[in-house]
């Protein structure tokens, strides 16, 4: 390794450890060794330290041993008499750097609790988000596993020009990467430049301003460590497995702008441990031989118009970008973009005007592939604020196309339209809502571009079942009403078809092993009455997926003999799960929380847990951040229910399953439900009330407590007694 880089990294590491230890000593005097320390709302403690050393830093006093480890790792500072021309000492210095910086940032949370927003998006007063909590991590971390986000760019510093900064950020977004931003160059930081240029920053656009100092780089590296722990099956303290997982699975790199300080060198050396190289626009020594990283370790002097492509190349990242012929940028990075009032040009649907979208299958000779027609005013024909009705009718044909696939394809409209920069799509069916931003209009957006997107992407993603796609868009009220009438008829037929399906009427269920890459023993079993716990896959989706990709993650499971209808034991399911889990899970029940419950990966929408004192079951959704009557928050419960383990009394579930007739059938069904967060109860209220009425107890809805009635078992038990909850009279569910 370059002597200049090696010596600078070691110097920087010494400075950082000294700085962090001084902050620690000061905090120790101020707060005492028993004072709790943590990053907000996480079960991963200080994640780099936890993942590398297995050490749980919970109190200030716990840091003492970690600082001793830092001193052990630190090599002597390089001088004329001490020459270390090796990679290993610099890597050790880099690891010590991250341990020290992570403790420094934890102490910052003590000294300056409002230094970071602790939210998903910046506020008007504060741009810096700080460490991602577990709600954000669970939502975003899985994208690093399923390929939605192949990796991240850890930006240190910034180009001086806001237009250049915006261009680089956009190019990274188009590669579907997350962009984690830190520190500044010559008084300029990337996040502020983007904001000045009207670019939305925050988790929703994948432009994440972690912090305004170099020490915040630990939030990016810590995120990668948590991915390995949560989704890679890596155990805390197994540093080798964590580093290898991230090298092979998380395609991340450091992108440094401007003069590189000793502290930056130390952080770059730390990143190399994980296989993350550094690409710089500045004139610094290069480290071109391969070794820890897939290819080069440090590449410098890269022009701004080449730096993104060079970073992709050096990291060995294979990014497939399907170019859609529209004037706006396009990709998953724009899916979370919001069009606010000040950015709004016009809108369609959403109660403002009539709006509807529907996909139907036709005969081959009835569809002209690639045809996109628009009947009615286009964007160029109206003024700002002039809203229009809209109907989007997509007609498809294919030799392998089936009517059961229609809702699956139609459901893609939401994210595909949202992939267009400057366009916001909400809802579906006849409650859809589209907002068009001024920026998209300035670039020449036309309603026909929606048609081009749907045509191109449906072909790319569902080419195995589609041969032809044509799109008709109407912005005339009369024609919109015609499509609305057609759509309502289609919706009714679909709902009847889906609603008539039960676990008894179908002889084949479907597996989902999409998440086995991060939970090797997990096999999700999808039945007509129990969709995947992630909420994203139902029985028809499994059928469609198998049709599209016969060797993919969704395989048919002949259910075989039902040996126990209450628990939901099927001979075919047990045989399949035993084989697909490689013997780790030999028996699984489809309808029980207590007896061989279904395994989970970590992507569940909600978690069900038994409350012994209440003789009932609680369910908590991922977005609820408060305490639950189980004495655990969602993040802690996730450790009990996830990782491909069977833990009686804890299980990942989808929100949709809450109103299934097979819900906890072995435990007595819906009558066993005693608590759920208010936000979840309100979200599923209509279906939940209907389910209560179906079992002859419409009053049960009001007997299900929320956090407003209590967050301890004692409080919930008192509420149950007051209401006369049926679970009080039911047989004990434990055991």
State the burial class of residue 495 (Cβ atoms within 10 Å of its Cβ: 0-12, 13-18, 19+). exposed
Q: Give the integer Cα–Cα distance in Å for 708 and 483.
A: 44
Q: Is residue 636 situated within a structural domain? A: yes
- 604 Cβ neighbours under 8 A, 6+ residues apart: 533, 534, 622, 638, 641, 642, 652, 653, 654
- Radius of gyration of the chain, Cα coordinates, nearest whole angstrom: 27
Q: What is the token pair recorded at 515? A: 């998440």
Q: CATH code at 304?
A: 3.40.50.2030
Which residues are paired to 392 by β-bridges? 357, 473
Contact 251/150 with Cβ under 8 angstroms?
yes
CA 550 to chain centre: 26
Q: Is residue 612 situated within a structural domain? A: yes
686 CB neighbour count, 10 Å cutoff: 10
Q: What is the token pair recorded at 190? A: 């990337």
Q: What is the token pair recorded at 35? A: 């004072």
Q: What is the token pair recorded at 605? A: 């929408």
Contact 688/701 with Cβ under 8 angstroms?
yes
Residues 147, 284: one domain? yes
Q: Which residues of 43-63 are buried (b: 16+ CB within 10 A; e: fewer)?
A: bbbbbbbbbbbebebeebebb
Q: Is residue 323 situated within a structural domain? A: no
Residues 126, 54: one domain? yes
315 CB neighbour count, 10 Å cutoff: 25
Q: Give the integer Cα–Cα distance in Å for 454 and 460.
A: 10
The reported pLDDT for the residue numbered 517 is 56
Q: Looking at residue 671, what DSSP letter applies?
A: G
Q: Helices 3-31 and 87-111 meet at what angle, rounded to 10?
A: 30
The reported pLDDT for the residue numbered 735 is 44
Residues 592, 527: one domain? yes
Question: Whose CA is closest to 226, among 94, 99, 97, 42?
Answer: 42
Q: Is residue 324 situated within a structural domain? A: no
Domain count, the chain: 3
Dump the DSSP string for 354-377.
-EEEEEEE--GGG--TT-EEEES-
Residues 300, 448: one domain? no
Residues 238, 357: one domain? no
Q: What is the token pair recorded at 642? A: 């996830």
Q: Which helix (H) or strand (E) holds 30?
A: helix 3-31
Q: Give the integer Cα–Cα distance in Å for 12 and 8.
A: 6
Which residues are paired to 509 by β-bridges? 557
Residues 297, 357: one domain? no
Q: How many residues does the chain have?
A: 735
Residues 364, 446: one domain? yes
Q: Is residue 37 situated within a structural domain? A: yes
Q: Give the integer Cα–Cα distance in Å for 638 and 123.
A: 29
State the burial class of residue 290 (Cβ atoms within 10 Å of its Cβ: 0-12, 13-18, 19+). exposed
The reported pLDDT for the residue numbered 322 is 55
Question: Whose CA is closest to 45, among 59, 27, 35, 31?
Answer: 59
Residues 118, 203: one domain? yes
Name the domain boundary from 456, 487, 518.
Answer: 487
- 580 Cβ neighbours under 8 A, 6+ residues apart: 511, 513, 516, 523, 555
The structure tokens 């899970």 sit at: 585
Name the domain boundary from 286, 315, 344.
Answer: 315
CA dist 97 → 227, 463, 663 (Å):
21, 49, 50
Residues 51, 200: one domain? yes
Contact 20/60 with Cβ under 8 angstroms?
no
The reported pLDDT for the residue numbered 552 is 78
Q: Which helix (H) or strand (E) holds 541?
A: helix 539-548
144 CB neighbour count, 10 Å cutoff: 26
Q: CATH code at 408?
A: 3.30.1650.10
Q: Looking at residue 641, what DSSP letter applies?
A: H
Q: Is residue 50 situated within a structural domain? A: yes
Q: Is residue 499 situated within a structural domain? A: no
Which residues are paired to 479 by β-bridges? none
Residues 338, 310: one domain? no
Q: CATH code at 613?
A: 3.40.1470.10
Q: What is the token pair recorded at 165? A: 């900064």
Question: Whose CA is closest to 305, among 181, 164, 190, 166?
Answer: 164
| Coil vs helix vs strand at 82 | coil
Name the domain boundary from 315, 343, 366.
Answer: 315
What is the dihedral angle through the alpha carbons of 545, 546, 548, 550, rounded to the nearest 10 degrees?
140
For residue 52, how many C-alpha atoms fall within 13 Å in the half-sphere facing its CB?
23
Contact 598/527 with Cβ under 8 angstroms?
no
Q: Helices 217-231 and 262-272 meet at what angle, rounded to 10?
A: 10
Q: Is residue 253 situated within a structural domain? A: yes
Residues 276, 364: one domain? no
Q: What is the mean pLDDT for each group of 10 consecutive residues in the chain (735 residues)? A: 79 97 97 96 95 97 97 84 65 96 98 93 94 92 84 96 95 92 93 95 96 97 95 93 93 95 95 95 82 86 92 76 78 84 91 92 86 95 95 91 83 88 86 91 95 90 83 97 93 71 92 74 90 80 80 90 95 93 91 92 86 96 92 90 88 90 94 96 91 96 97 97 95 69
Residues 190, 218: one domain? yes
Range of the domain at 308: 3-315
The structure tokens 């799109």 sit at: 471
């Amino acid at each position: 390794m370059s002597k200049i880089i090696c010596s600078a990294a070691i110097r920087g590491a010494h400075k950082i450890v000294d700085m962090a230890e001084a902050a620690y000593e000061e905090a120790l005097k101020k707060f005492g060794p028993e004072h709790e320390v943590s990053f907000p709302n996480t079960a991963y403690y200080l994640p780099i330290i936890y993942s590398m050393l297995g050490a749980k830093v919970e109190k200030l006093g716990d840091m003492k041993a970690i600082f001793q480890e830092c001193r052990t790792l630190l090599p002597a500072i390089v001088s004329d008499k001490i020459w270390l021309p090796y990679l290993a000492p610099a890597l050790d210095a880099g690891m010590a750097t991250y341990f020290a910086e992570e403790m420094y940032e934890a102490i910052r949370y003590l000294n300056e609790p409002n230094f970071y927003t602790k939210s998903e998006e910046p506020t008007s007063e504060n741009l810096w988000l700080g460490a991602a909590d577990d709600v954000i991590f669970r939502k975003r971390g899985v994208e690093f596993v399923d390929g939605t986000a192949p990796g991240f760019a850890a930006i240190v510093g910034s180009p001086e020009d806001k237009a250049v900064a915006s261009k680089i950020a956009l190019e990274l977004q188009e590669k579907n990467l997350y962009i984690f931003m830190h520190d500044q160059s010559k008084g300029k930081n990337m996040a502020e430049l983007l904001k000045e240029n009207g670019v939305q920053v925050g988790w929703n656009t994948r432009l994440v301003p972690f912090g305004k100092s170099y020490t915040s780089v630990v939030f990016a590296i810590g995120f990668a460590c948590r991915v390995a722990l949560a989704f890679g099956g890596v155990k805390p303290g197994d540093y080798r497995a964590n580093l290898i997982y991230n090298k092979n699975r998380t395609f991340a790199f450091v992108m440094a702008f401007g003069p590189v300080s000793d502290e930056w060198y130390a952080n770059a050396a730390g990143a190399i441990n994980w296989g993350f190289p550094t690409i710089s626009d500045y004139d610094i020594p290069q480290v071109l031989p391969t070794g820890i990283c897939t290819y080069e370790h440090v590449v410098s002097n890269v022009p701004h118009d080449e730096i993104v492509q060079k970073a992709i190349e050096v990291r060995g990242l294979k990014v497939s970008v399907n170019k859609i012929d529209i004037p706006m940028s396009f990709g998953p990075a724009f899916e979370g973009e919001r069009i606010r009032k000040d950015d709004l040009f016009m809108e369609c649907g959403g109660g403002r005007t009539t709006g509807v979208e529907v996909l139907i299958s036709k005969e081959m000779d009835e569809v002209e592939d690639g045809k996109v027609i628009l009947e009615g005013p286009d964007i160029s024909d109206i003024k700002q604020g002039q809203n229009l009705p809209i109907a989007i009718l997509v007609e498809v044909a294919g030799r392998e196309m089936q009517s059961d696939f229609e809702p699956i394809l139609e459901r893609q409209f939401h994210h595909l339209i949202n992939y267009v920069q400057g366009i916001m799509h909400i809802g579906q069916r006849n409650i859809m809502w589209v907002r068009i931003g001024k920026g998209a209009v300035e670039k020449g957006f036309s309603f026909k571009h929606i048609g081009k997107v749907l045509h191109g992407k449906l072909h790319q993603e569902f080419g195995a079942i589609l041969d032809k796609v044509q799109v008709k868009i109407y912005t005339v009220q009369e024609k919109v009403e015609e499509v609305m009438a057609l759509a309502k008829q289609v919706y009714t037929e679909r709902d009847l078809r889906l609603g008539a399906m039960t676990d008894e009427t179908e002889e084949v269920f479907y597996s989902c092993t999409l998440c086995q890459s991060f939970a090797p023993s997990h096999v999700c079993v999808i039945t007509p009455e129990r969709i995947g716990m992630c909420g994203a896959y139902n029985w028809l989706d499994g059928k469609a997926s198998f049709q599209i990709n016969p060797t993919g993650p969704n395989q048919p499971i002949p259910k075989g003999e039902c040996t126990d209808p209450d628990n939901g034991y099927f001979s075919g399911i047990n045989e399949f799960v035993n084989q697909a889990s490689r013997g780790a899970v030999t028996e699984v029940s489809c309808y029980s929380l207590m007896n061989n419950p279904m395994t989970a990966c970590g992507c569940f929408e909600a978690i069900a847990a038994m409350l012994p004192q209440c003789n009932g079951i609680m369910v908590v959704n991922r977005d609820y951040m408060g305490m639950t009557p189980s004495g655990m928050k969602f993040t802690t419960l996730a450790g009990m229910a996830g990782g491909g383990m069977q833990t009686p009394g804890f299980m990942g579930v989808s929100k949709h399953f809450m109103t299934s007739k097979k819900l906890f059938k072995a435990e007595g069904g819906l009558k066993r439900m005693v608590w759920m967060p208010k936000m979840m109860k309100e979200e599923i209220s209509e279906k939940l009330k209907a389910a209560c009425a179906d079992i002859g107890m419409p009053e049960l809805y009001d007997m299900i407590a929320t956090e407003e009635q209590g967050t301890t078992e004692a409080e919930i038990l008192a509420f149950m007694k007051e209401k006369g909850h049926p679970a009080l009279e039911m047989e004990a569910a434990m055991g």
